[in-house]
Amino acid sequence: MTNATPLSPAQKTWQDHLILNDFYGELSSTPRRTPMRELISTVLSHRTTHADEELAYSRMLETFGDWEGVLAAPTSELAHAIRTTRWPDTQAPRIQDILRRIKAERGEFTLDFLADWPTERGLQWLTDMPGIGLKTASLVLLFNFQKPVLPVDTHVHRIAQRVGMIGPKVSAERAHKLLLEQLPQDARVLLNFHKHNYWHGQRVCLYTKPDCARCPLKAFCDYYIEHYGPATPEALAATPKRWDTAWGELPH
């Protein structure tokens, strides 16, 4: 690709997917956690580092044994167990509300029934729960049940705007639908698109100071062109083709 080729937003989205797949390597769609763990860990992860989220999760289950124990625990003790998260006093009652609803509706602590539900019904059911937004619901359905949905977190949203896959004023909520329409309804593609852009936002396209010199998206990125002009052949030639582990570990 050359910087002389104007791309439509949908073409940029597809190129982003192909290029970052090469840059970071394609991932399999094997679930990384059980559905219950994915759901509760995502609640714990809000504005919290992965290490602190993991610590909160393990302390919670070590202290109370299982989901039944977490539900029955005094809320203040649960908040203490998950104190490494950003807002333990908000998250503790929220987790108990979620567990209470799952138990009341399903008779046990499981989300496995979502595998057989149509995607829209699953999204609706999850987002009806307290504190569960479209991003968290999409993560659970994509990662655990290979449903064709696209979680858009702050990193995916920022890169989509900077590159020009979506307009500069499109909200993250709306971006879920717009980006999904530009990609194949294939869970593996969607999972890779989500994870790669999430990593890219954490390691290259940083919020305060994007590392454009290292970025393989510069040929068609609106932000790059606006700040530096069209990418020169020299800049493109100097851009790495793969993430180098010497630059640091990739996030979870």
Chain residues binding ligand SF4 by CB under 6 A are 159, 162-163, 204-205, 210-212, 215, 217-218, 221, 223-224
User: CB 205 → ligand SF4: shortest distance, Å?
Assistant: 3
DSSP 45: T
Alpha helices in 128-208 (DSSP H): 134-145, 154-163, 172-181, 187-203
Helix (H, G, I), strand (E, B) or coil at 126: helix
From the CB of 188, what's the least distance to ligand SF4, in Å? 23
Closer Cβ to ligand SF4, 172 or 204, answer by number: 204
Please say which residue, 157 or 218, places its beta carbon nearer to ligand SF4: 218
Place of tokens 């094997």: 30
Q: Cβ of residue 228: shortest distance to ligand SF4, in angstroms?
A: 9
Q: Would you say 102 or 205 has its CB closer to ligand SF4?
A: 205
CB of 203 to ligand SF4, least distance (A): 10
Q: Is the CB of 136 or the CB of 161 nearer to ligand SF4?
A: 161
Burial of 20 (0-12, 13-18, 19+ CB in 10 A): buried
Distance CA 47, CA 53 (A): 10
Is there a contact between 53 and 85 (Cβ–Cβ < 8 Å)? yes
